[in-house]
Amino acid sequence: MTETIFKRPKYLKDAVFHYCPGCGHGITHRLVAEVIEELDIADRSICVPPAGCAVLAYDYFDIDVGEAAHGRGAAVATGLKRVLPDRIVFTYQGDGDMAAIGTAETIHAANRGENITTIFINNGTYGMTGGQMAPTTLVGQKSTTTPGGRDTKRDGNPLRLSEMLALLDGTIYIERVSVTSPKNIRAAKKAIKKAFQIQMDRLGYSLVEVLSPCPTNWKMSPVDSCKWIDEYMTKTFPIGVIKDNSENK
Amino acid sequence: MTETIFKRPKYLKDAVFHYCPGCGHGITHRLVAEVIEELDIADRSICVPPAGCAVLAYDYFDIDVGEAAHGRGAAVATGLKRVLPDRIVFTYQGDGDMAAIGTAETIHAANRGENITTIFINNGTYGMTGGQMAPTTLVGQKSTTTPGGRDTKRDGNPLRLSEMLALLDGTIYIERVSVTSPKNIRAAKKAIKKAFQIQMDRLGYSLVEVLSPCPTNWKMSPVDSCKWIDEYMTKTFPIGVIKDNSENK
Amino acid sequence: MITKTAFAGSGGQGVLSMGYILAYAAMRDKKNVTYLPSYGAEVRGGTANCTVCISDEEIASPVASAPDYAIVLNKPSMLKYQGIIRKGGIMLVNSSLVDAKAEREDIEVIYIPANKLALELGSERAVNMIMLGAFAAKTGVTSLESLAGGMSDVLKSKSAGLVDLNKKGIERGAEYALHER
Amino acid sequence: MITKTAFAGSGGQGVLSMGYILAYAAMRDKKNVTYLPSYGAEVRGGTANCTVCISDEEIASPVASAPDYAIVLNKPSMLKYQGIIRKGGIMLVNSSLVDAKAEREDIEVIYIPANKLALELGSERAVNMIMLGAFAAKTGVTSLESLAGGMSDVLKSKSAGLVDLNKKGIERGAEYALHER
Amino acid sequence: MADKNKGRIKINSELCKGCYLCISVCPKHIIAVSETLNHQGYYPSKSTDSSDDPKCTGCAMCATICPDVAIEVYRD
Amino acid sequence: MADKNKGRIKINSELCKGCYLCISVCPKHIIAVSETLNHQGYYPSKSTDSSDDPKCTGCAMCATICPDVAIEVYRD
Amino acid sequence: MTEKVLMSGNHVIGEAAVRAGCSFYAGYPITPQNELTEYMAGAMAKLDDGTFIQAESEIAAINMLIGASMAGARVMTSSSSPGISLKQEGISFLSALELPAVIVNCMRGGPGLGNIAPSQGDYFQATRGGGHGDYRNIVLGPASGQEICDLVTKAFDYADEYLTPVMILLDGMMGQMMEPVVFPEYRDISTLPEKTWKIDGAKGRPRRVIKSLLLDVNVEEAHNWKLVRRYEQIKDKIQMAESYKTSDAKLTVIAYGIAARIAKSAVDRAREEGIKAGLLRPVTLWPFPERSLREAASNNTEFLVYEMSTGQMIEDVRLSLNGSSRIHFHGRPGGPVSTPADIYEQIKKYYPR
Amino acid sequence: MTEKVLMSGNHVIGEAAVRAGCSFYAGYPITPQNELTEYMAGAMAKLDDGTFIQAESEIAAINMLIGASMAGARVMTSSSSPGISLKQEGISFLSALELPAVIVNCMRGGPGLGNIAPSQGDYFQATRGGGHGDYRNIVLGPASGQEICDLVTKAFDYADEYLTPVMILLDGMMGQMMEPVVFPEYRDISTLPEKTWKIDGAKGRPRRVIKSLLLDVNVEEAHNWKLVRRYEQIKDKIQMAESYKTSDAKLTVIAYGIAARIAKSAVDRAREEGIKAGLLRPVTLWPFPERSLREAASNNTEFLVYEMSTGQMIEDVRLSLNGSSRIHFHGRPGGPVSTPADIYEQIKKYYPR
Ligand SMILES: Cc1ncc(C[n+]2csc(CCOP(=O)(O)OP(=O)(O)O)c2C)c(N)n1
Ligand SMILES: Cc1ncc(C[n+]2csc(CCOP(=O)(O)OP(=O)(O)O)c2C)c(N)n1
Ligand code: SF4
Ligand code: SF4
Ligand code: SF4
Ligand code: SF4
Ligand code: SF4
Ligand code: SF4
Ligand SMILES: [Mg+2]
Ligand SMILES: [Mg+2]
């Protein structure tokens, strides 16, 4: 008897990802789809994708999807969720989308304690537009707009948005994960599942930040990209639970 | 021989403030003008006033002034300061201006470590537009848009922007003060002076948050307003130094 | 014909509700009416004012650059409105609060010691109704009945005692304006 | 007359610099020229391409919906361009990397084992220049001299060794295309 | 300690908006509300220090808190 | 422990983009780069597990890290 | 509420919206429309399913509207000139996404921070689309409290019918002024056609995607032309204008909103003096009531366009008349409100002799 | 650099800006103009006093420009359609504050997120002012790499001379395409007239205030009319258009930017076939080259407006001609690029018989 140990999750459509080889978006998409299947919420979930490499997320997630302008995912999700409080609304956003142009919308949705979930892909770059500096780009890291490497005097410092959000009373659960190894990926899935569960339990705002390789713009192989995350990126962005207030609610 | 112990500072123009009786803007204006005089920087200082009750600050400060759109003071100041690195550039902003519409500009200017100073007037309300809820309005506090009092479920929680800014590597000095008593006012002045000094020493971003009475919109007498700050507002917004990194630079 | 009346005083003196009640009175009279409160909070200050236009026809501009009538409850307001009221217009002044006298000769100025009269009626809350009654009596813009009706339209279910006091205020103001000065 | 040439392959194969050098060669020929790289990063994928238009007159549209010539360095590119090249056009294929054969009958297809030839010259870096040399020789769009000049214009002060290698590549490609197939 | 009693304040009653914060902070209780409106429409505050028995210390607490910079403080 | 060796993977070579993360994580080193391009233009990876001496444990590490969901894992 | 109530324009908008079934409002304070935001704070709290959000910015507000409209609610936001500028990206998105929404612009003096006085300087922005790309929005310009009520009611229906944002364009004075208004009954929105495009979870139906990213240029082009066809339909169906004494007019004033009211008195005054003046008041600003203009022009009148701006609507007047008539202009930008006497002078000045 | 270099439109803008003395750039990535942002990152780093800021958003970028322009620098920002929508409040402020600035819009398909293909859908936004209030900006529409260089150079001078933002309006293809360009010498900006209005600290002079809040309506009105007078002056002085074979044309194509290039080939093709076609290419989009249009119209031609939109510039054509000529339209919105053959077909279709 053949037992299937691993296969494509149900709510991931049968389409080839447009992502580059080794891109963390693919892994994270799959985890989200698995969680949606396991929690059995596909018919009441609504995804708000970003402008960013994941802009075509609707080609992959087999659920209702409503597009947001660049950076405005949290506001769009707020509108959706307030009208449909018993649906599961989540945004999927990049670091440029959330931590640069969407800073205000993100912080205030979190501060209002909107009962939504955010999957926050931190790949330290503007993937879609071709590798410009992101708020999360590491000091010294090269990008097309920091050809000499990020210089704190000129370009400021990597922004730890999750830590800032953790200060807000409206946020319940914030965890930073990475998708650089099977072990980390399993932890990432657990975090994503917990984040959705918190929304299902109506506790408030939950967020999972995913350290995610962008081999193309980092100009590294996928394998080296994962190593680079483990060795360097986690120094600035340590993985682990940043805030968990779910027990107190 | 008559000694003058207290008189109108030199760079405060001879104009009647348009502020309501007991308004904290007046006190803070005077402190800023005193500091500019004491540091002898009037001929190289540039003020960026907000849209807010202090929109007419240029009628009072006798120095160069460049207007910013609502919320964009930090961006305008960034432009000014980058072109004129040896001038003293400061923004004067309200809590609506800075912590609502200007959230992104404020956080990113601070994160870049722009060498500017911000005087941040936290009066827990949108003064100029007639008393709507501000990001800093206390839980339960009434406003024209929270007639039943701020309800965390609907309206979210008071936002402690200064604490969030303190997490950023680019910020050097952040202190919260109040202008509710002569003693507090003297401390406020000290903080403002230090903030300007830090800019003069080119250390980076400095900010003084001023808890400031708005008797009109709080619908309290000026004296009660001061008491209310001391008794209630400081519970959510404790006064004191939030971050001081000036020694390490 | 269109009449434009301005009301002015400090915040809290019931300036806005005077105008509001006059507007409702005019509605009872089946007139067209517009009510324009002092507009915008971009410049702060201690004063409040509003303008009521009443007409048989459609009303064009609700602004009164030169009002026909003004009811002023404090000195700064008097100083302001005595400057812009139209020639031949009428200004009603609460003389309990305004010690100065108006300087224009080409307008009629009527002094009502409204606070004093109100205290006699038992409450300072009647001050604005006294002024309004005096206004109606002297100008004929509306009737005392319509005013009283307009007042209870506005107050609706609120305290019957207040409605009563206000009614007395309107009458007392009218009486004073017509007979006692 | 206007000629439109498309270049396509994977990122890193020197596709864009082929087009760039052709454009500079055409400038040396005193022609008008436009160069349009594959445009936009909104959809990701492993391929790169660009289009070069060369003309004696001003150039209108720099887009080639049906290019006259195509130089393809990998299989997906070949599959794509064999579909859109104009009737009677010429496609140059790097047969070292593309095992399949083109299916159209109404275009001329020229197979160049560019990697093999490059290795013979001593470095795989010459692959794109070999293709370019072959292209110039077969189409006459520009001369080998102009190509070599364009190439050194582009590389400027960069390593003389590379300029040399590239020059050899251009010549070798031309030779192969004209005489050895 | 004698010197301490040598203060004197000057309230610009046209600048004053009648917030009465000065009154609330004066340790000597020598500021009060005046009876006459100013041109802005407020009842300004005024010093009630007596020339016979001056109490003002010149501590400037009143001036420090005055939001309208209406108070000047001198020591003679 | 015998059971542990009963894994089997199936790589969809048309989905694969040749990132080789699977190769890097397989504890049994039984995935390798294939020699033929796929239609996307990548050299996909392939299982090199032998049917004679199967090493695959079905641990699914490869599938877990595959960004293109190109790997399915079975246990027979 | 069939009785007359005295209400400010801002409050009328709020009450009319609630009665039209609006259950979602997001906005950000700005003078001179704060009373509307405040009204909605109270009104939404009274509804079972009402949502009021004081957004962190105008941008957040318009994007919340996008979400709420996607979810199927009747939605509204409001602001004034600078705040409306900030909403332009969102308005372009709403238009592209074919989402119904009502947007109120209570104009103030500009450009820049300007002032809070009545102005009509945002006509271009409203009617030409201040955002990017090819789109048009229905723009309605009420001139009285009652008309505000009526047009807001219509706005929600138009938005749903034509799947487009609808803008109510008025000035600060219209927003502040109180006039007597009679409101319609509450709308039972459960009787409205179902929104078959909304996203509320794919339960028992294929999933839906609402998006404006159309990477295939042919698909984007088709979408653009689809919108154009809808706009043509709107142009055909909902042009509205008030004609006043135009049939024999030799000079027809064209003005909208508060400016038209002032002009009307001026026209009356002129008529009293034997001057054949008339007034044509566009009620729909987009679509512009070209038909009414052409009809008026066929009576051989000259036109005087009066705007509280340096001249924006006048382009629509010119485009409508296409050279057939003489057109004069009187503008008062930045806040000053003309009196009927002023406009009467202008009428005399331009009256054809 | 008098030699020809092959450069993309985006890079040409950057290089021309640097040579014109631009020392401050703030921008935010968006396709299809990223190469310009990236170019400026490198170029500003090479200057002693150059500033490049990758802003946190388009809004931050335009407001940084406001500050830097107040301080006296020559400043530039760039974006593409959705990002330009976000800058509308800032552009209104720049205009009100009378601050020079150069703003590049490398248009893409819209509305909404749209696509990154070449498009001309933002013409209204650029020429009518997508922001609030009465203002106009100079808008330049280059059609080749060399013209990009020339117009960017001019843009900085116009901005300083007329104290206004100047927009360079081009499409994604113009931004991406490389053509040979000859650049002018570096401008020594110390030779330019002093900016007597800038704020840099009141040392040895009375302090200065730069503001747009004009609470007194009469002051605001006067400011508005002052701007209008300046706009009239601009209209008078800088209308630019290219006329190609128009003198005897029976059908004159009107198109700008890349569309005009395509049309030019079509015109040539038509001439070969004996069809008297011509091309009139507006170079200044605001002020619109009315004079050139009227002159062309006096030769008794019909017009065919070709836009990569559903029809926006056509309004300016109509306004310029005011009913004097027949005007036809061909539009391709949302990204598809016509070939000369397509336009040739359109010429044949509309050619008067
Ligand atoms: C208003 C606006 N500005 C800019 C863009 C262009 N843009 C699209 S995605 C993106 C950033 C992508 O970076 P990130 O959010 O980190 O996502 P990633 O691609 O890295 O996953 C930008 C700037 C846009 N679409 N809209
Ligand atoms: C874009 C924009 N939105 C809104 C406004 C209106 N507005 C002016 S000041 C202000 C807020 C004032 O509150 P705050 O910043 O706290 O200053 P305060 O008046 O309390 O000192 C608002 C919303 C504006 N001028 N511009
Ligand atoms: S650019 Fe980076 S983030 Fe975008 S698909 Fe490629 S690898 Fe992923
Ligand atoms: S409204 Fe409040 S903040 Fe504004 S001037 Fe009055 S008291 Fe001060
Ligand atoms: S200086 Fe001190 S003692 Fe004198 S009046 Fe002021 S507070 Fe009172
Ligand atoms: S503190 Fe100043 S403004 Fe207030 S009452 Fe005293 S003198 Fe007047
Ligand atoms: S399942 Fe485990 S052992 Fe088998 S191929 Fe995959 S990683 Fe290797
Ligand atoms: S991890 Fe997946 S995509 Fe990457 S090489 Fe292996 S099978 Fe291919
Ligand atoms: Mg990213
Ligand atoms: Mg405030």
Which pLDDT score is estimated for C42? 39
B9 Cα distance to chain centroid:
19
User: Two tokens at D86?
Assistant: 């104009």
Chain A positions touching B97 (Cβ under 8 A) are none
Averaged over D55-81, what is the pLDDT? Answer: 88
Q: Does H71 touch chain G (CB under 8 A)?
A: no
Tokens 């009072």 -> residue: B60
Q: If pLDDT is split at 50, 70 and 90, which confidence band does D157 have?
A: low
Among A191-200, F28-37, H39-48, H194-203, where is mean pLDDT lowest?
F28-37
Residue D41 pLDDT > 50 = no
Q: Does C80 touch chain E (CB under 8 A)?
A: no
Chain G positions touching C57 (Cβ under 8 A) are 268
What Cα–Cα distance (Å) separates residue A85 from each residue in A49, A61, G201?
19, 21, 12
Among A99-113, A182-196, D54-68, where is mean pLDDT lowest?
D54-68
Which residue, among G8, G38, G78, would best test binding to B if mutated, counting the most B CBs under 10 Å from its CB? Answer: G38
- Residue B179 CA to residue B212 CA, distance in Å, equals 6
CB contact under 8 A, B111 and A135: yes
C41/chain B closest Cα distance in angstroms: 6
CA–centroid distance, A182 to ligand 7, in Å, is 11
CB contact under 8 A, A152 and B170: yes
Has residue E2 been placed in a domain? no
Q: Does H43 touch chain A (CB under 8 A)?
A: no
The number of helix segments (H) and strand segments (E) in chain D equals: 6, 6
CB contact under 8 A, H201 and B66: no
User: What ipTM was estimated for this complex?
Assistant: 0.96
Positions in chain F whose pLDDT score sits under 50: 1-3
All structural domains of chain A: 25-248 (3.40.50.970)
DSSP β-ladder status, B132-133 and B125-126: antiparallel
Query: What's the mean pLDDT when you consider all of chain D?
Result: 89
Has residue F2 been placed in a domain? no
CA–centroid distance, B18 to ligand 8, in Å, is 68
- Span G194-251, pLDDT tens digits: 999 999 999 999 999 999 999 999 999 999 999 999 999 999 999 999 999 999 999 9
Which pLDDT score is estimated for C45? 54
What are the start-end ranges of the H helices in chain A?
A: 24-39, 73-83, 95-96, 103-112, 152-155, 161-166, 182-200, 215-218, 222-228, 234-236
Residue A178 pLDDT > 60 = yes
B231/chain H closest Cα distance in angstroms: 37
pLDDT tens per residue, chain B (249 residues)? 789 999 999 999 999 999 999 999 999 999 999 999 999 999 999 999 999 999 999 999 999 999 999 999 999 999 999 999 999 999 999 999 999 999 999 999 999 999 999 999 999 999 999 999 999 999 999 999 999 999 999 999 999 999 999 999 999 999 999 999 999 999 999 999 999 999 999 999 999 999 999 999 999 999 999 999 999 999 999 999 999 999 987
Which pLDDT score is estimated for E5? 59
Which pLDDT score is estimated for G280? 98
Which CATH number goes with the domain that contains E44? 3.30.70.20
Q: Does ligand 1 have an atom closer than 6 angstroms to the CB of A131?
A: no
Q: Does ligand 5 have an atom closer than 6 angstroms to the CB of E70?
A: no
Burial grade of H279 (CB within 10 A; 0-12, 13-18, 19 or more)? buried
- Residue A88 CA to residue A77 CA, distance in Å, equals 10
Which pLDDT score is estimated for C1? 81
What is the CB neighbour count within 10 angstroms for residue E73?
A: 22
pLDDT more than 70, % of chain H: 99
Q: Provide the domain limits for residue C134.
A: 2-180
- Residue C122 CA to residue H191 CA, distance in Å, equals 79
Chain C positions touching B53 (Cβ under 8 A) are 44
Nearest by CB: C47 against E17, E37, E41: E41
- Residue G333 CA to residue G309 CA, distance in Å, equals 4
DSSP β-ladder status, B125-126 and H277-282: unpaired
Tokens 């400026």 -> residue: H40
- Which chain residues have CB less than 5 Å from ligand 9, an ion? A 94-95, 123, 127
pTM above 0.90, yes or no: yes
Asked, colleague to colleague, whether G5-189+209-237 and G241-350 share their fold, the answer is: yes
Q: Does G34 touch chain H (CB under 8 A)?
A: no
Chain G positions touching C23 (Cβ under 8 A) are 6, 178
Query: What's the mean pLDDT when you consider all of chain C?
Result: 89
CA–centroid distance, A167 to ligand 10, in Å, is 22
Averaged over E21-35, what is the pLDDT? Answer: 97
Which CATH number goes with the domain that contains D175? 3.40.920.10
Q: Does ligand 7 have an atom closer than 6 angstroms to the CB of F7?
A: yes
The number of domains in chain E is 1
Which residue, among H95, H200, H207, would best test binding to B if mutated, counting the most B CBs under 10 Å from its CB? Answer: H207
Which residue, among A55, A76, A145, A151, would best test binding to H if mutated, counting the most H CBs under 10 Å from its CB? Answer: A145
CB contact under 8 A, C34 and G178: yes
> Which residue in D56, D52, D57, D96 sits closest to D70, CA to CA?
D52
Q: Whose CA is nearest to atom 6 of ligand 2?
A: G30
Which pLDDT score is estimated for C102? 85
Q: If pLDDT is split at 50, 70 and 90, which confidence band does C98 have?
A: confident
Where b means 16+ CB within 10 Å and e means fewer, A8-39 reads bbebbeeebbbbbbbbbbbbbbbbbbbbbeee
Q: If pLDDT is split at 50, 70 and 90, which confidence band does D14 have?
A: confident
Which pLDDT score is estimated for H144? 97
List residues in chain E touching B: CB distance below 8 A. Answer: 7, 14-15, 17-21, 24-25, 40, 42, 58, 60-61, 63-69, 71-76
CB contact under 8 A, C74 and E39: no
- Span G259-293, pLDDT tens digits: 999 999 999 999 999 999 999 999 999 999 999 99
Residue A15 has what DSSP assignment? -
Burial grade of C83 (CB within 10 A; 0-12, 13-18, 19 or more)? exposed
CB contact under 8 A, D43 and A216: no
Residue A201 pLDDT > 60 = yes
Averaged over C126-152, what is the pLDDT? Answer: 95
Which pLDDT score is estimated for D43? 44
Has residue F61 been placed in a domain? yes
What is the CB neighbour count within 10 angstroms for residue B147?
A: 11
Nearest by CB: B129 against C41, C43, C46: C41
Residue G68 pLDDT > 70 = yes
Which pLDDT score is estimated for A43? 97
CB contact under 8 A, G56 and B101: yes
Q: Which position has the higher pLDDT, G8 or B249?
A: G8
Nearest ligand, CA of residue H63? Answer: 2
Has residue F1 been placed in a domain? no
Which pLDDT score is estimated for A11? 98
- Span H41-51, pLDDT tens digits: 999 999 999 99
Q: Nearest 10 degrees: CA dihedral of D139, D144, D147, D151?
A: 140
Averaged over C166-181, what is the pLDDT? Answer: 92
Query: What's the mean pLDDT when you consider all of chain H?
Result: 97
Which pLDDT score is estimated for G203? 97
| Domain spans of chain G, in order of start | 5-189+209-237, 241-350
Q: If pLDDT is split at 50, 70 and 90, which confidence band does C39 have?
A: low
3-class DSSP state for residue H342? Answer: helix
The number of domains in chain C is 1
A69/chain H closest Cα distance in angstroms: 7
Which pLDDT score is estimated for C14? 85
- Residue G53 CA to residue G26 CA, distance in Å, equals 5
Chain D positions touching A129 (Cβ under 8 A) are 41
3-class DSSP state for residue G89? Answer: helix
> Which CATH class for the G5-189+209-237 domain?
alpha beta
Topology of domain H241-350 in CATH is Rossmann fold (3.40.50)
